[in-house]
């Protein structure tokens, strides 16, 4: 798939934003952001879903009218009957593109074209081939895969006709748990959380006993404290055969972020200038790229830029 036109994609909002804020965010993305594909849907907590479900159709129509491809994302963890029904509902429409984030959704999507999200463990060529036979057409690969493995996956699956996508900006999803950390942090139970996660629109930042920044939590999800930033690695990723570059939504100016990444892909600015512009945006946490270089995920390695 080398030579395919590079696209900027926007992953689903992982956090519990106010529904009006959520809607207005996507309206602005539709009108202003140079992204080709937008993922919609609740990925983390099925209890949040009813707040956004009434807005999904309107938002999807606005994005489609603006020329964006809309893909509906499923939950990343299914534990209850309600979760299962929610996944089944997302997968029910034969006309919509779906991103599978949990193995339970593969049953509903078998034989239908679909995307595979970063929460599915796709680490080798045999897994790619197996899922492709079931209808997978695009793979957003797990964030912890290093560059050497990304290159091998692309090189050895060329004949399958699938596309690969990697996250290049935003907090990195690390783990999911049966326990809601947000509720626990506020001395509440998961069933009576009172949606306290809405107070932290980019996740609740954790600190060590020495008062150093550590991780971030989002309901049942653990995220990195730092923000992944692969702006300087875009050309190398393109050369491997990666054609889709995902931005994770945050409360910073995502239109500006998308414009910077698009400008680099279009060769309008170089990676050095782009890095300076991203630094100036002051997203509230340091940048990292450690996983890409096979190091600790929260570390930073200066890319060799020609």
Element (H, E) at 138: strand 136-140
Torsion angle of alpha carbons 125, 128, 131, 136, nearest 10°? -160
Q: Tell me the angle at which helices 125-133 and 147-156 cross, rounded to the nearest 10 degrees.
A: 50
Query: How much is the average pLDDT of 246-259?
Result: 98
- Which pLDDT tens digit goes with each residue over 276-300? 999 999 998 999 999 999 999 999 9
Which percentage of the chain shows pLDDT scores above 90? 86
d(CA 139, CA 100): 10
What does pTM read for this prediction? 0.95
d(CA 50, CA 69): 23
- Which pLDDT tens digit goes with each residue over 151-206? 999 998 989 999 999 999 999 999 999 999 999 989 998 888 888 999 999 999 99
Q: Where are the domains of the chain?
A: 7-173+224-293
Question: pLDDT-derived band of residue 303, with 50, 70 and 90 as boundaries?
Answer: confident
The whole-number pLDDT of residue 192 equals 87
Element (H, E) at 175: strand 163-176
Mention the CATH class of domain 7-173+224-293.
alpha beta
- Which pLDDT tens digit goes with each residue over 225-240? 999 999 999 999 999 9
The whole-number pLDDT of residue 249 equals 98
- Which pLDDT tens digit goes with each residue over 14-37? 999 999 999 999 999 999 999 999
The whole-number pLDDT of residue 1 equals 43
The whole-number pLDDT of residue 104 equals 92
Question: pLDDT-derived band of residue 5, with 50, 70 and 90 as boundaries?
Answer: confident
Chain centroid to CA 154 = 20
Residues in the chain: 306
Mean pLDDT for the chain overall: 94
- Which pLDDT tens digit goes with each residue over 180-193? 999 998 999 888 88
Query: How much is the average pLDDT of 28-48?
Result: 96
């Amino acid at each position: 798939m080398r030579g395919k036109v590079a696209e900027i994609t926007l992953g689903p909002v992982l956090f519990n934003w106010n529904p009006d804020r959520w809607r207005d965010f996507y309206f602005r993305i539709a009108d202003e952001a140079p992204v080709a594909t937008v993922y919609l849907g609740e990925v983390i907590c099925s209890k949040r879903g009813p707040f956004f479900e009434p807005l999904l159709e309107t938002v999807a129509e606005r994005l489609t009218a603006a020329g964006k491809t809309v893909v509906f994302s499923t939950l990343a963890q299914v534990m209850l009957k309600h979760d299962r029904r929610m996944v089944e509902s997302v997968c029910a429409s034969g006309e919509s593109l779906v991103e599978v984030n949990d193995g339970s959704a593969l049953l509903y999507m078998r034989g239908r074209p679909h995307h595979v999200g970063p929460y599915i463990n796709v680490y080798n060529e045999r897994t790619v081939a197996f899922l492709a036979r079931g209808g997978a057409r695009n793979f957003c690969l797990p964030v912890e895969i290093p560059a050497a493995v990304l290159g091998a996956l692309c090189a050895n699956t060329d004949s399958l006709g699938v596309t690969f996508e990697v996250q290049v900006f935003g907090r990195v999803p690390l783990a999911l748990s049966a326990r809601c950390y947000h509720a626990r942090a506020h001395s509440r139970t998961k069933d009576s959380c009172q949606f306290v996660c809405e107070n932290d629109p980019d996740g609740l930042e954790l600190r060590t006993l020495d008062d150093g920044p550590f991780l971030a939590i989002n309901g049942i999800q653990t995220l990195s404290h730092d923000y992944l930033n692969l702006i300087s690695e875009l050309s190398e990723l393109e050369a491997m055969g990666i054609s889709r570059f995902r931005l994770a939504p945050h409360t910073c100016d995502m239109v500006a972020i998308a414009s910077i990444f698009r400008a680099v892909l279009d060769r309008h600015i170089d990676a050095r200038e782009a890095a300076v512009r991203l630094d100036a945006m002051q997203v509230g946490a340091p940048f990292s790229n450690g996983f890409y270089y096979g190091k600790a995920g929260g570390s930073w390695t200066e890319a060799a830029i020609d």
